[in-house]
Amino acid sequence: MDKLLIHGGSPLAGEVRISGAKNAALPIMCASLLSAAPLRLTNVPHLRDVTTLLNLLGGMGIAVSLDEKLGLELDAGRLHTPLAPYELVKTMRASILVLGPLLARCGEARVSLPGGCAIGQRPVDLHIKGLQAMGADIRVEHGYIIARAERLKGARIASDLVTVTGTENLMMAACLGEGTTVIENAAREPEVVDLAACLKAMGANIEGAGSGMIRIEGVSALSGAEHRIMPDRIETGTFLVAAAATGGSVRLRNTSARILEAVLDKLREAGAKITAEDDAIVLEMDGPPTSVNLRTAPYPAFPTDMQAQFMALDCIARGTAVLTETIFENRFMHALELQRLGADIEISGNTAVVKGVAQLDGATVMATDLRASASLVIAGLVAKGETVVERIYHLDRGYECIEEKLSQLGARIKRIH
Ligand code: UD1
């Protein structure tokens, strides 16, 4: 299994290109299932989750091709098997995103339940309830969601919880439904807006994406389209936090300040100077960071996917920080590993109190999930001496060439096979 070897202590400096967003690419690739004509995508990140989804779509009969500019074409003209098997779904929960499109296009779908996840229970009941409200007949048998519907019907769907992939699944399904669907308390994440933009380019009738209420007027068929995937705001945030924690200065290209305002506010609070350009962000840090408190919540508030990285920054910041996680119940596993590097963290329920220490010391640590891995890499970059991060297959799910990009910024980091 691959590991990362990091010699900490050098401030990050220089320029790096941000990749397309994993969490936009995955739902948008699933949108290809809705049409018999090809969907052409650019700025698709080269990630393990993307490969997993390509395997899943390939098994259903979707033809996948890459053009000379690495544009990805997905052609679901010969979609023959509306099935998502356990072997693939268990490695990537986002596979549930095929459920809505398959049901809408084929009238049936068999999708394995994603099962537990390291960061909490993460059920899919809201996806199922929403589709049932649209007239689907759904049962769960032998670990599979078995769904049928002649043609989905427009419905008003409301839930107390905001769910990102749930909103995306229902929005995609409603595109081919009969009549009007209204999703109340919809997720407002920029990735939902990017998916809606792609669906509209395919001929869908959608209003309100990016607000708490999305209205979809069903159409009988969708066409092909071309779409460029938005930049990855979590990758952007991760590199900015790494630069701030190491006291560096970086310019990130192919990204936008507009998609991560809450994260930029926290970085300013930590002492970073941030300049937003048209399609780039510049961060300059002078001296050690100041502790920042944070509380995760659905967009536009502070994202849960950035909590672990800020915890690493708070470990070496001046002062004491209180971090509250409100989205996932078990998302502090990185804290135990950070403690192995000398961090002072106390966890009580969904709150972590982090007292900044003058220095972290390198050690061997183990990555437990995607964003936890990123926090350990950041801690390794600031720690004195050598840090080994084990089980980095989690990182490869969501960060494109992370060690190459960090090396480009002057980090001493290498992958050991
Ligand atoms: C998406 C992101 C993930 C991010 C998360 C929260 C993708 C592919 N993944 O995950 O990176 O961390 O949003 O911003 O976009 N819930 C239910 N029932 C459901 C669905 C969700 O109870 O049917 C709960 C979850 O357990 C969780 C909360 O709702 O506590 C939010 O989860 P959700 O927004 O659905 O996360 P994902 O869409 O899986």
| Digit-coded pLDDT (tens) for 342-352 | 999 999 999 99
Pocket test for ligand 1, best of 91, 113, 145, 163 (most atoms within 8 A of CB): 163
Res. 117: pLDDT tops 60:
no
DSSP β-bridge partners for residue 77 = none
Pocket test for ligand 1, best of 89, 95, 125, 165 (most atoms within 8 A of CB): 165
Distance of CA 403 from the midpoint of ligand 1 (Å): 28
Distance CA 352, CA 375 (A): 15
Question: Ligand 1: which atom is nearest the Cα of residue 93?
Answer: 39
Distance of CA 164 from the midpoint of ligand 1 (Å): 6
Sign of torsion over alpha carbons 166, 111, 132, 169: positive
Question: Ligand 1: which atom is nearest the Cα of residue 328?
Answer: 30
Res. 121: pLDDT tops 70:
no
Closest residue to atom 35 of ligand 1, CA basis: 163
Q: What backbone torsions phi and psi does residue 178 show, to the nearest 5 degrees?
A: -100, 120
Average pLDDT over residues 263-276: 98
Average pLDDT over residues 147-164: 95
Res. 119: pLDDT tops 60:
no
Q: Are strands 13-17 and 3-7 parallel, antiparallel or unpaired?
A: unpaired
**Exposure of 233 by Cβ count < 10 A (0-12 exposed, 13-18 middle, 19+ buried)?**
buried
**What is the arrangement of strands in the sheet containing 63-66, beginning at the earlier edge strand?**
63-66, 72-75, 39-42, 225-228
Question: Ligand 1: which atom is nearest the Cα of residue 120?
Answer: 26
Written as six digits, the tokens of 373 are 């891995």
Give 116's pLDDT tier (boundaries 50, 70, 90): low
Give 368's pLDDT tier (boundaries 50, 70, 90): confident
Question: Ligand 1: which atom is nearest the Cα of residue 187?
Answer: 34
Closest residue to atom 5 of ligand 1, CA basis: 164
Distance of CA 11 from the midpoint of ligand 1 (Å): 34
Q: What is the pLDDT of residue 207?
A: 98
Res. 287: pLDDT tops 60:
yes
Please name which of 35, 40, 79 lies closest in space to residue 57, comparing C-alpha atoms. 79
Closest residue to atom 1 of ligand 1, CA basis: 164
Give 140's pLDDT tier (boundaries 50, 70, 90): very high
Give 100's contacts (C-beta < 8 A, 6+ positions apart): 127, 131, 168, 169, 170, 171, 172, 173
- The count of C-alpha atoms lying within 13 angstroms of the C-alpha of 46, restricted to the half-sphere facing its C-beta, is 6
Q: Is residue 300 reached through a cis peptide bond, with omega within 30 degrees of 0 on the bond before it?
A: yes
Counting residues of the chain whose pLDDT is more than 90, the rounded percentage is 92
Pocket test for ligand 1, best of 98, 132, 161, 302 (most atoms within 8 A of CB): 161
Average pLDDT over residues 163-192: 98
119 neighbors 350 (Cβ within 8 angstroms): no
Distance CA 373, CA 120 (A): 16
Q: What is the pLDDT of residue 197?
A: 98
Res. 179: pLDDT tops 90:
yes
Q: Are strands 294-295 and 320-324 parallel, antiparallel or unpaired?
A: parallel
12 neighbors 250 (Cβ within 8 angstroms): yes
In angstroms, the first-to-last Cα distance of the chain is 6
Q: Which amino acid is at 170?
A: L
Catalytic residue among 117, 175, 315, 401: 117
Distance of CA 301 from the midpoint of ligand 1 (Å): 15
What's the helix, strand, coil split of the chain in %, to 5?
35, 30, 35
Pocket test for ligand 1, best of 47, 93, 122, 375 (most atoms within 8 A of CB): 122
Distance of CA 62 from the midpoint of ligand 1 (Å): 26
Average pLDDT over residues 355-380: 95
Question: Ligand 1: which atom is nearest the Cα of residue 122?
Answer: 26
Res. 105: pLDDT tops 90:
yes
Closest residue to atom 25 of ligand 1, CA basis: 122
Distance CA 181, CA 104 (A): 13
Residues contacting ligand 1 via CB (< 6 Å): 23, 26, 93-94, 120-127, 161, 163-166, 191, 303-305, 327-328
Q: What backbone torsions phi and psi does residue 141 show, to the nearest 5 degrees?
A: -135, 130
Q: Which residue has the higher pLDDT, 255 or 143?
A: 255
Q: What is the pLDDT of residue 70?
A: 77
Question: Ligand 1: which atom is nearest the Cα of residue 327?
Answer: 30
pTM recorded for the entire structure: 0.97
Average pLDDT over residues 3-30: 97
Q: What is the pLDDT of residue 76?
A: 98
DSSP β-bridge partners for residue 180 = 217
Q: What is the pLDDT of residue 286?
A: 87
**What is the arrangement of strands in the sheet containing 13-17, beginning at the earlier edge strand?**
13-17, 249-253, 280-285, 272-276
117 included as an active-site residue: yes
Long-range contacts of 126-130 (CB under 8 A, 24+ apart): 126/159, 126/161, 126/163, 126/166, 127/96, 127/99, 127/100, 127/163, 127/165, 127/166, 127/169, 127/170, 129/157, 129/159, 130/155, 130/157, 130/159, 130/166, 130/169, 130/170, 130/173, 130/183
Q: What is the pLDDT of residue 216?
A: 98
Q: What is the pLDDT of residue 104?
A: 98
Distance of CA 110 from the midpoint of ligand 1 (Å): 21
